[in-house]
Amino acid sequence: MSQELEPAAMAAASGEAPAPPAMAAAAGWSSLPCDLVRRIADCFLDTNDVDWYMDLRAVCHSWRAATDDPRKDPFDGRFHPREWIVLDDEVAQSDDTRVFVNIGTGRFLRKKLPLLRRYYLVATTFGGYFVLADRKRPHAARVLNPFTGELVRFAAPVPRGAGVAVFFFSGGTPHNLTLLCDSSRKYYTAVPDSKRFVAHSHNEFIYNYMRKAVVGGVYANGGGWASVANEGMIENLCKLTEMLQVEFVKFFSGDPFRNTSDIRCFLVDFGGKAMFITKAPGRVGVLAIEPDEQVLVPVETIGKYAIFIGHHRCLVVDAGKFPSVEANCVYYTLQVGRFAGIVKHNIGDGTDVRVSEYLEFFEQNNEFVFDTPRPLTIIQVLCSYTINLRGSELA
């Protein structure tokens, strides 16, 4: 009586090699129900892990068919980088590799971007876009979504000296690119079809004020910008500077090497609303906008979050996602001559303590570099992001 052969024995008898277990498993994964694949994909988009979403779509044809193609609707905000910052210190980058940090989930991502070799890097935006310039004259602007690979091409050349950027859209309107130039104190705007960037001039305070809103994420998503840009809010800030006995321009200055009084104000996006973080010798203030009267009121707690402020940038992170970062605290960099250290301010009890016994940074060519042994802590990495702001390669 003949016995039924095992699949492997049958394959051997016929001269065929048995299918590897990995291929058999892959065949099973590709037959997952479409609704289940979409639910998994939506989980990645909920945390703005667009790179994982793109990896999922690359697995097989059935998974691509079950999920939306980011290229079909460039205005679909689910595929736009929102929660990411790009580390731009020498430790974290090479010619075509960058390190990203998801400030909502605490995820670190090292990603290779070969396209960077073909363009000048002008700036990275709050959220994760790359603003590029064509290497050939007249150096037309480009904006890269590093996770989908979408490259928005602009006809207008990048203005010389631009080094801070914000890229956004509203509804079905064209993408809007705004570039700020510290040397001229002007900002420039264009849409993809613009033949040139339109220059806008303001006094130095308004420019610095807008710049802080851009690097803090307030201007980037429109959240809170109308409330911080109105005349009533400017008047309240004037009163605040008088109380702190500091010049209005210096209050929002982005140049730590020109204004060394260590009195500064930062704007941060906090859940779609703007908050002001003030830093004065021996005092840190966290202020929110009272919606009815449009006045600044002290914030007693920021809950599970922590705020990082440096000389150039600021950000809010979920402290529970980053080991060693304490909630309800403000981490700021304190300049001491040519050096700078990290201080933790506890919003609850108002105390300030040094994070380490030594000064973590020293000034070199108008930039703060690490003066500490490696490896670096997460607190040091996040503070490095806020204390420095790399200039444009085009400049």
**DSSP per position, 97-120:** EEEEEETTT--EEEEE-GGGGGEE
Report the pLDDT value the prediction gives residue 10, as an integer from 0 to 100. Answer: 38
Q: Which helix (H) or strand (E) holds 208?
A: helix 204-215
- Looking at the structure of the chain, the number of domains it has is 2
pLDDT digits (tens, 9 = 90+) for 286-297: 998 887 777 888
Report the pLDDT value the prediction gives residue 247, as an integer from 0 to 100. Answer: 73
Note whether 102 and 172 are same-domain residues.
yes
220 found inside a domain: no
Report the pLDDT value the prediction gives residue 232, as an integer from 0 to 100. Answer: 72
Note whether 53 and 129 are same-domain residues.
no
Report the pLDDT value the prediction gives residue 107, as an integer from 0 to 100. Answer: 96
Note whether 58 and 106 are same-domain residues.
no
Report the pLDDT value the prediction gives residue 8, as an integer from 0 to 100. Answer: 41
Contacts of residue 21, Cβ cutoff 8 Å, sequence gap at least 6: none
Task: Kindly state the DSSP code that residue 127 receives in the 8-state scheme.
Answer: B
163 found inside a domain: yes
Count CB atoms within 10 A of the CB of residue 90: 10
Note whether 119 and 48 are same-domain residues.
no
pLDDT band at 164 (very low <50, low <70, confident <90, very high): very high
pLDDT band at 91 (very low <50, low <70, confident <90, very high): low
Cα 184 to its chain centre, rounded Å, is 25
Burial 193-210 (b: 16+ CB within 10 A, else e): ebeebeeeeeeebbbbbb
Note whether 90 and 191 are same-domain residues.
yes
Nearest to residue 310, comparing CAs of 82, 89, 132?
89
Report the pLDDT value the prediction gives residue 5, as an integer from 0 to 100. Answer: 38
Nearest to residue 264, comparing CAs of 224, 237, 291?
237
Following DSSP, what letter does each residue of 11-42 receive, concatenated?
HHHTTPPPPPHHHHHHHHHTTS-HHHHHHHHH
Task: Check: CB of residue 101 under 8 Å from CB of residue 94.
Answer: no
The pLDDT of residue 125 is above 60? yes
379 found inside a domain: no
pLDDT band at 14 (very low <50, low <70, confident <90, very high): very low
Which of 152, 176, 201 is the endpoint of a domain? 201
Q: Which helix (H) or strand (E) holds 238?
A: helix 231-244
pLDDT digits (tens, 9 = 90+) for 173-201: 668 899 999 888 899 999 999 999 999 98
Report the pLDDT value the prediction gives residue 373, as an integer from 0 to 100. Answer: 76
The pLDDT of residue 163 is above 60? yes
Cα 64 to its chain centre, rounded Å, is 28
371 found inside a domain: no
Note down the domain range covering 127. Answer: 80-201
If you search the block for the tokens 């993408």, which residue do you land on? 175
Copy the structure tokens of residue 92. 């974290």
Task: Check: CB of residue 125 under 8 Å from CB of residue 165.
Answer: yes
Report the pLDDT value the prediction gives residue 301, as an integer from 0 to 100. Answer: 95
111 found inside a domain: yes
Note whether 177 and 126 are same-domain residues.
yes
Share of the chain above pLDDT 90, in %: 48
Which of 201, 217, 242 is the endpoint of a domain? 201
The pLDDT of residue 151 is above 90? yes
Mean pLDDT, the chain, as a whole number?
A: 84
101 found inside a domain: yes
Note whether 63 and 85 are same-domain residues.
no
Contacts of residue 268, Cβ cutoff 8 Å, sequence gap at least 6: 216, 217, 218, 274, 275, 277, 307, 309, 314, 315, 316
312 found inside a domain: no
Note whether 94 and 154 are same-domain residues.
yes
Which of 176, 201, 226 is the endpoint of a domain? 201
Q: Which amino acid is at 196?
A: R
Q: Which amino acid is at 384?
A: S
Q: What is the mean pLDDT of residues 134-163?
A: 95
Strands 273-280 and 264-270: antiparallel
What is the CB-side half-sphere exposure of residue 237 using CA atoms within 13 A?
A: 27
Compute the distance between CA of residue 212 and CA of residue 180 in angstroms, rounded to an integer. 11
pTM over the 0.85 mark? yes
Note whether 164 and 54 are same-domain residues.
no
Note whether 38 and 101 are same-domain residues.
no
Phi, psi (5° rounding) for residue 389? -150, 105
Report the pLDDT value the prediction gives residue 254, as an integer from 0 to 100. Answer: 62
pLDDT band at 134 (very low <50, low <70, confident <90, very high): very high
Note whether 89 and 45 are same-domain residues.
no
pLDDT digits (tens, 9 = 90+) for 23-50: 445 557 888 999 999 999 999 999 999 9
Q: Which amino acid is at 20?
A: P
Strands 329-336 and 305-309: parallel
By CB atoms closer than 10 A (0-12, 13-18, 19+), residue 78 is middle
Q: Which residue has the higher pLDDT, 220 or 333?
A: 333
Grouping H, G, I as helix, E, B as strand and the rest as coil, residue 200 is strand
pLDDT digits (tens, 9 = 90+) for 203-259: 888 888 888 888 888 876 555 556 676 777 777 788 787 777 777 677 777 665 555
Report the pLDDT value the prediction gives residue 255, as an integer from 0 to 100. Answer: 63
Share of the chain above pLDDT 70, in %: 85
Grouping H, G, I as helix, E, B as strand and the rest as coil, residue 132 is strand
104 found inside a domain: yes
